[in-house]
A and B are shown apart, each in its own frame.
Chain A
Amino acid sequence: MRGKTVLIYALLLAITVVTFSPFVLSVLGSLKDTRSILAWPPRIFSPPFHPDNYVRVWKASPLFPVWVRNSIVLAVITVAVKLLSCSMAGYAFARMRFPGRNVLFWATLATMMVPYAVTLVPNYTIMAKFGWIDTYLPLIVPGISDAFGVFLMAQFFKTLPRDYEDAARIDGASWFTIFWRVMLPLARPALVALAIFKFQASWNDFLGPLIYLNTPSKFTLPLGLNFFKGQYFHFWELILAGAMFNAVPMLIIFAIFQRYFIKGISLGGLKA
């Protein structure tokens, strides 16, 4: 029994090293100077450290702070829009009776199987017709519909007891009032899980901004970092420091809301 326990902890530690060391290495790399980061053999831990690399990135390209701001604004808007539309649709599918409910719900679920590659080209053409190229609208508007989000909210609403709604209805509350005042506050755990997922999706998205945004001052941080890599190719310490501006906020959010991440995946993924 003892030997087995030791083996389990040894494996856990080994995997932790494998999954986490690229992060540690890149933070250490981001603190080196331009010469020592290219040295062979590479020195993994090599003081003196240069934390001012992080300031240099921020100042090296006047666009860097703009990209960070664009990413935050876009992610916040996307999340807000999705929370509203997914909870509205999820509630209707979970609790209300209307003609076509099952068909529309299954149609929604079926679209989860449609690869985004199929809708990419036609949607670009549609956005071009709308005159939406080089704006944030193609990154926000299609996201109003989110099959995963609708499914997740519907599944969660189904688990809530009906007592509160019945009580509100006896008091004469309308469907809207019940949805807004009674059900949404109860759905907070699912809303938090959905918000984190969709924040991550928007914050990390590369392909969407790559296709739709052309002007560097409109770039989001992931696209900006790719642009930055092209400009500062020999300054790996700056590229790594820049990348940390994207990675670290997400890792912190994950660390704080870990419970919701796990719950959201098992709620939205498995019970299909």
Chain B
Amino acid sequence: MRPSGTGTRGAGRPAPLVWFRRARTREILTAYVLIAPHMLALSVFTFFAMGFAFYLGFHRYDLLSPPTFAGARNFVRIFTDPDFHIALRNTIYYTAVVVPIQTALALFYAVLLNQPVRLRTFFRAAFYAPSVTASIVISLVFIWLYAKQGIFNYLLSKLGLPASIDWLGNPATALPAIMMMNIWSTAPTFMVVFLAALQDIPDSLLEAAAIDGANAWQRFTRVTLPLLRPSIFFVVVMGTIGCLQVFDQIYIMTRGGPLKSTMTLNYLIYSEAFENFRMGYAAALSLILFVLILLLTVIQKRYIDVEVQY
């Protein structure tokens, strides 16, 4: 490790062993100083906060009077709370539709951009643009596009389809409209992950498959897709975590309505904590959400992240 000879330079140096010990101490101390800001903030705002979420989950707390112990009452209430059932159903519906479609779309974008085409940088930038745009901007633009007399309905009327749907005002269409918008804006983020993975696949494997008589579709399904499993796992897990926590667009566009048709778990947590000031109940809800996320991640690991060898 240490460059030889440094310990013997100069007459005033202590014996090599003592020098080495001091240098080690200095290295350790310096390292602790360097990680201190990060570890301190992590300890308070992540580790302590998680423990505190657990504490709050078993208490009643309105931010004004001190917390009182509530036992398991918050959790019992969750399972009899009709809003929780609606929010859970909406969140699962949202996730089950958005994750597969955005993953497939991201892969499709990436495969297309991985072809030997001119202007690849231009196309990549155009595809990616929705992903760098703020949720507030996208939500405002789509409120306008989705209006009853908006451009979206106008395009549908041009195709001869029913054209006076109040997309965000109708309980049947509000959540699907938000799903469609979020698939549009999130797929490009994950496209980049697939693009990087596609570029790591050795050409020799695809060439060997071609020599063996595999057509393009077979090469994709039998060689490319299995090698992409780790990336697919990553994209599905990150997509699921994101979908289960969808909030900004709901808050800006529909406030959970109409008739609670867009009420999601995170929106429910927000309104319990910051509109009703039921911090204990909100913390209990967030723990349920956490368990749901962990559970889905484990299941996805079991079925998607399978080792592939060639």
Contact with B along A70-113 (1 / 0, CB 8 A): 00000000000000111011011100111101001001100101
CB-CB < 8 A to B27: which residues of A?
96-98, 175
CB pair B279–A125 under 8 Å, yes or no, is yes
CB-CB < 8 A to B241: which residues of A?
113, 115
| Interface flag for B202 (CB, 8 Å) | no
CB pair B283–A121 under 8 Å, yes or no, is yes
Q: Report the bound CA distance from A255 to B49 in whole Å.
A: 38
Q: Report the bound CA distance from A270 to B142 in whole Å.
A: 32
Binds A, one of B80-88, B217-225, B287-295: B287-295
CB pair B34–A179 under 8 Å, yes or no, is yes
Q: A89-B37, A96-B30, A262-B192 are in contact. Are A19 and B127 (CB under 8 A)?
A: yes
CB-CB < 8 A to A258: which residues of B?
121, 124-125, 128
In the complex, what residue of chain A is closest to B6 when comparing beta carbons? A170
CB pair A211–B274 under 8 Å, yes or no, is yes
Residue among A16, A42, A119, A166 making CB contact with B49, cutoff 8 Å: A119
Chain A: residues with CB nearer than 8 A to chain B? Answer: 8-9, 11-12, 15-16, 18-20, 22-23, 25-26, 29, 38, 40-42, 44, 84-86, 88-89, 91-93, 96-99, 101, 104, 107-108, 111, 113-126, 128, 141-147, 150, 166, 169-170, 174-176, 179, 200, 203-204, 206-207, 210-211, 222-223, 225-226, 229, 236, 239-240, 243-244, 246-247, 250-251, 253-255, 258, 261-262, 265-266, 269-270, 272
Contact with A along B239-273 (1 / 0, CB 8 A): 00100110110011000000000000110010001
Q: Report the bound CA distance from A5 to B147 in whole Å.
A: 38
Residue among B37, B134, B150 making CB contact with A204, cutoff 8 Å: B134
Q: A16-B127, A239-B140 are in contact. Are A206 and B135 (CB under 8 A)?
A: yes
CB-CB < 8 A to A124: which residues of B?
273-274, 279
Please, could you name 23 A-B residue pairs with CB atoms under 8 Å apart, sorted by A? Answer: A9-B117, A12-B112, A22-B142, A29-B144, A96-B30, A98-B27, A107-B47, A113-B241, A114-B50, A117-B290, A125-B61, A170-B6, A175-B30, A176-B30, A206-B136, A229-B140, A246-B134, A253-B132, A254-B125, A258-B128, A265-B192, A265-B193, A265-B196
Q: A121-B279, A210-B251 are in contact. Are A145 and B38 (CB under 8 A)?
A: yes
CB-CB < 8 A to A126: which residues of B?
44-45, 48-49, 52
